Structure 1
């Protein structure tokens, strides 16, 4: 595993508590020696401080997981793929869509797996919602919404130099709400156009800590995104709503882990216990989806398959929406998805 920052704690739990089988954590890498050594001490993995050296000298690596700063995903993932390693990277897949497409092609050409972590797709609540959508129970879709109300103050943004910058991070929609935007398009289908407003309302950063947006889905439904890290004093919620002519579902909780509302015009027996059956208690906002996702990665590789749970094409869908959102802010109007930001992943 490369990158021993915030999300690495979840990877440490997964590998040291036996949450997945068929793989072991053999090596950890971080540019800060203290972080790498601490992770190594807790996991018995060998510590490295240079990715290129690790890739060259550690002959027993099959797959590299990356939890490095967002702006480094492209270069780091490319280095691992060039070295012949399978790659799974935390969100965002890259900072720009064309980078993800390049990595996807590189992986295919070399016969390697390249995927991105979208752990909320593994939440029981989200899977139940997706199953109802796939069955057609919602009928004609009316509205799909996302609401992320989290608290991140300047201690968070100042904890690492790359945070809160267009070049290396992006704002609330890139770092926090990207998972929920992915979940929204995963369930509701492709987004055609967006109109957004974003601002750094409380935090002293160059990117947005608060964004609101209106969406037009390809199927004709409308959408709304409300995302902020300026909730005070604590995280409040991360919710997703789907409304259709056949019924409505709201998934909420800390990280899309609880069914809050579930009702359809044509009831079924299972509807009565849906909230109890599909809600999940989670310890942190990362949820519990990492372990089953990584287990699917391991199982696929052991079968000789290279298709990841969420491939580059899938991972780029939410990134393309986010780029359109930023371009809408830049142009002050409606933007078609597929139009990239002039600043995200570039700076300036």
Structure 2
């Protein structure tokens, strides 16, 4: 049995607790939050120990194997590094951090201490996305032309007013960092490294420091192009999250409110019957096993078999880097290249 502790008992922590409860060989044994009242739910429902100080948790609860970090994003790095130095494996909510320097520090701390690190990007485990990945891995789309990643959601002012850190640049970020980063993780996971981006962003409708709408374009290292659109300004509710991939011998769009359905699929090497089977298979169970549960079960298996988690710290950093480069481009009003690819593509 792998034993877990949750740090930060806000909204997302409940998903972690439920995932741990449902996952095989996993048990929630402790929670930590500066506000004692925030931990009462977990104490009553899961009969766990409670701590208001992370240091006390790391000292007292020697049986804890994994620390799940569910705090505002700006606090991820300090907590992850403390956990790694205490020889605890780390599950960190998206984004891995708000800066590349912090992401590198987290990854280094986990590597130096020989502990596993995974970032919560659960959309990879959705049935429709898994079908798309299998099709692409088999080369059925041929040479890739371009991709489109779209998040058209609503987060009203009341959402941002729930807590003073929401919508701030130092602790939260805007629509790219907070909402769209899951879709951007899929974009990079499916299309490969990004070479260059050009982006514009604005704060149009919400009274926040960060952006509530962003549009941009990207060039991938393989030469394919990408279109990125993200907004929390959609009236009156979430409209869609989608990812579309277009290639020489196939095109696929995964859409719906949360990128869970096959909205279009036309592939040269697949018959209409084969495509229909995929569409209906996804439609029968569009959400599949909850993504957070998949993340928990994967880290358990990674610990037991001493392998890398499916979503690594480097994966989390790649999604973060795309967001940061989009921010840099919007701030400078110029295209921004990715340093690691400059020499190869220049």
How high is the TM-score relative to the length of structure 2?
Answer: 0.92
Does 2:328 correspond to 1:327? yes
Q: Is the 8 A contact 1:5 1:68 kept in 2?
A: yes
Does 2:278 correspond to 1:278? no
1:187 — aligned with what?
A: 190
* Superposed displacement of residue 262, structure 1: 1.1
* Superposed displacement of residue 282, structure 1: 4.3
Does 2:14 correspond to 1:9? yes
Q: Which of 294, 297, 312 is matched with 1:295 structurally?
A: 297
3-state DSSP of counterpart to 1:321: helix
Q: How many residues align?
A: 333
Measured in 2, the distance between the counterparts of 1:145 and 1:168 equals 28
Does 2:241 correspond to 1:238? yes
Q: Which runs of 5+ in 2 are unaligned?
A: 1-5, 341-346
* Superposed displacement of residue 306, structure 1: 5.0
2:53 — aligned with what?
A: 50
Measured in 1, the distance between the counterparts of 2:42 and 2:228 equals 36
1:152 — aligned with what?
A: 155
1:218 — aligned with what?
A: 221
Q: Is the 8 A contact 2:215 2:228 kept in 1?
A: yes
Measured in 2, the distance between the counterparts of 1:114 and 1:282 equals 25
Q: Which of 69, 82, 85 is matched with 2:85 structurally?
A: 82
Measured in 2, the distance between the counterparts of 1:91 and 1:312 equals 11
3-state DSSP of counterpart to 1:302: helix
2:42 — aligned with what?
A: 39
Q: Which runs of 5+ in 1 are unaligned?
A: 340-348
Measured in 1, the distance between the counterparts of 2:302 and 2:213 equals 39
1:338/1:71 CA distance change after superposition, 3 Å:
farther
Measured in 2, the distance between the counterparts of 1:218 and 1:235 equals 32
* Superposed displacement of residue 135, structure 1: 0.8
Q: Is the 8 A contact 1:320 1:338 kept in 2?
A: no
3-state DSSP of counterpart to 1:24: strand
Measured in 2, the distance between the counterparts of 1:270 and 1:315 equals 34
3-state DSSP of counterpart to 1:80: helix
1:260 — aligned with what?
A: 263
Identify, as 1 or 2, the structure richer in helix.
2
